């Protein structure tokens, strides 16, 4: 039997299991990868309301990472919510100490679907250093507007993609809803149009997309195909039922 690649998710715990690390693990499992998880926060939320967030200490996060690297070979990691940009930078550097060739996919969650803000401060210069060290950034249109408020969206896209690959999720772009765009570090641009009409909004769909892309990368697919397949997998979750919590088929 072929062994499955190990993927690490570093994210928050969502009790409804629609978003965060448990949604990532379900996605990894459905796509025939083995998911490992490090918790950054215990969130008090369900699929329609976000109450508050209790953050894990950064040293405890590192201890969780450390014990997993002692046991498993990890080449891909997906990062979700973290307390602030400094913590994210510390985590990224710690991962690179463990494996200097590791591919890091960051889903920069700045606000929950129920409008809970995770980051209230402006983007520090440290974020530029983070971009230089990661493989892929996966913001939506609301998030990319907040990343560099002194730049237009097009200027922000050009700047970020000069440092890291950028997948701009189109779930919040009303004029072309569901159209995702990939901007690669080598200057190429690709568009992924939505397929099918039977999709309904799902809590945690952004988490599912970024973790599905990470899974396909871990399975050996190049970035373009991983993004395409990740989008199609996410669409299956979006069309799995009419509620806010999607189903993952294994």
17-61 pLDDT, tens digit each? 999 999 999 999 999 999 999 999 999 999 999 999 999 999 999
Residues 110 and 164: their CA atoms lie apart, in Å, by 19
The whole-number pLDDT of residue 122 equals 58
The whole-number pLDDT of residue 129 equals 95
The whole-number pLDDT of residue 125 equals 76
The whole-number pLDDT of residue 118 equals 60
Please give the model's pTM, rounded to 2 decimal places: 0.94
Counting as low any pLDDT under 50, the low residues of the chain are none
The whole-number pLDDT of residue 181 equals 97
The whole-number pLDDT of residue 208 equals 97
Distances (CA, A) of 55 to 87, 143, 205, 231: 11, 21, 22, 30
Residues 191 and 179: their CA atoms lie apart, in Å, by 7
Strands 180-183 and 50-55: what pairing? unpaired
């Amino acid at each position: 039997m072929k062994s499955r690649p190990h993927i690490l998710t570093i994210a928050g715990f969502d009790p409804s299991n629609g978003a965060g690390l448990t949604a990532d693990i379900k996605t990894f499992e459905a796509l025939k990868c083995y998911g490992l998880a490090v918790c950054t926060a215990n969130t008090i939320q369900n699929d329609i309301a976000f109450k508050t967030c209790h953050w894990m200490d950064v040293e405890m996060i590192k201890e969780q990472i450390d014990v997993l690297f002692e046991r498993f070979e990890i080449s891909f990691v997906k990062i979700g919510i973290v307390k602030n940009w400094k913590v994210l930078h510390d985590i990224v550097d710690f991962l690179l100490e463990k494996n200097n060739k590791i591919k890091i996919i960051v889903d920069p969650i700045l606000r929950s679907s129920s409008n809970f803000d995770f980051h209230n401060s402006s983007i520090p210069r440290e974020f530029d250093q983070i971009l230089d060290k990661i493989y892929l950034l996966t913001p939506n249109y609301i998030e990319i507007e907040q990343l560099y408020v002194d730049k237009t969206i097009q200027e922000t896209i050009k700047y970020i993609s000069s440092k890291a690959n950028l997948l701009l999720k189109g779930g919040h772009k009303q004029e072309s809803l569901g159209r995702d765009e990939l901007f690669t570090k080598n200057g190429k641009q690709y568009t992924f149009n939505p397929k099918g009409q039977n999709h309904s909004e799902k809590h945690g769909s952004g988490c599912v997309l970024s973790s599905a892309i990470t899974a396909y990368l871990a399975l050996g697919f190049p970035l373009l195909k991983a993004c395409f397949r990740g989008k199609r997998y996410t669409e299956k979750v979006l069309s799995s039922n009419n509620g806010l919590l999607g189903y993952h088929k294994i």
